[in-house]
Structure 1
Amino acid sequence: MTTKATIEEKLTRAFSPTELGVIDESDRHAGHSGWKEGGETHFRIEVVSKAFAGKSRVEAHRMVNEVLAEELNNGVHALAIKTRAE
C-alpha cells in the first residue's frame, strides 16, 4: 500500500470525512530537506468532518498529526493541512 493510500485510509477511519483530498506534492520539493527519490514525502491534506466542529485550527491539526504520527516518523517529511468542520 502506498503512503498516500495509508493516509487516506487512516483519515477516513478516524474522521469519517465528507470530503477528503490527499495530494502528493513531493515532486515540488525535489532536492529540499526530507525529499527522497520516489516521492511520498510531502503531502497536502484537506479534510472536512464533523469531528472538527468546535475545534480551533491548531486542535484540528493536532488531531490529524496524531492519526498520522507513524507516517510522520517513517518517511513523511511535511504535511500541509487544511481542516474544516462540516
Structure 2
Amino acid sequence: MSNTLAQIETRLTDALAPMSLHIDDESAQHAGHAGARDGGGHYRVDIVSAAFTGKNTVTRHRLIYTALGDLMPRAIHALAIRASAPEEL
C-alpha cells in the first residue's frame, strides 16, 4: 500500500468511522497527466458512514475533503467519491 493510500485510509477512518471503506489507486491509468507528473495521484473512494446520514452530497464531500486536509491537491490530484449513509445500501 502506498503512503498516500495509507494516509487516506487513516484520515477517513479517524474522521468518519466508516462501516465500510474501499480506496482504489487509479494513478497508473493517468500516467503522463499534468497532475500525475507533479506527483499527485488519482484515487477512487467508496465509503459508507453514519456521519453522512441526513447530509446532501456536497456536505458529504466537504467532510471527506476536510478529513484529507493537506493531501489535497498535492498528494491527491483527483478524487472520485461515492459516499453513502448505511440506510442507503
- TM-score by length of structure 2 reads 0.87
Task: Tell me what 2:83 maps to.
Answer: 83
Q: Does 1:29 align with 2:30?
A: yes
In structure 1, distance between residues paired with 2:56 and 2:21: 19
Which structure's residues are more often helix, by fraction?
2
Q: Distance in 1 between matches of 2:30 and 2:19?
A: 29
Give 1:40 shift.
6.0
TM-score by length of 1: 0.90
Contact 1:3-1:40 at 8 Å conserved across structures? no
Conserved 8 A contact 2:25-2:44: yes
SS in 2 for 1:64: helix
Code of the residue aligned with 1:59 in structure 2: it is T
Q: Percentage identity across aligned positions? A: 42
Task: Return 5+ residue gaps in structure 2 as ranges.
Answer: none
- The code of the aligned residue for 1:33 comes to A
Match of residue 67 from structure 1:
67
Instruction: Give the aligned CA root-mean-square deviation in angstroms.
Output: 1.7
In structure 1, C-alpha distance between the alignment counterparts of 2:61 and 2:3, rounded to whole Å: 22
- Looking at structure 2, the residues matched to 65 and 13 of structure 1 have their Cα atoms a distance apart, in angstroms, of 13
Counterpart code for 1:10: R
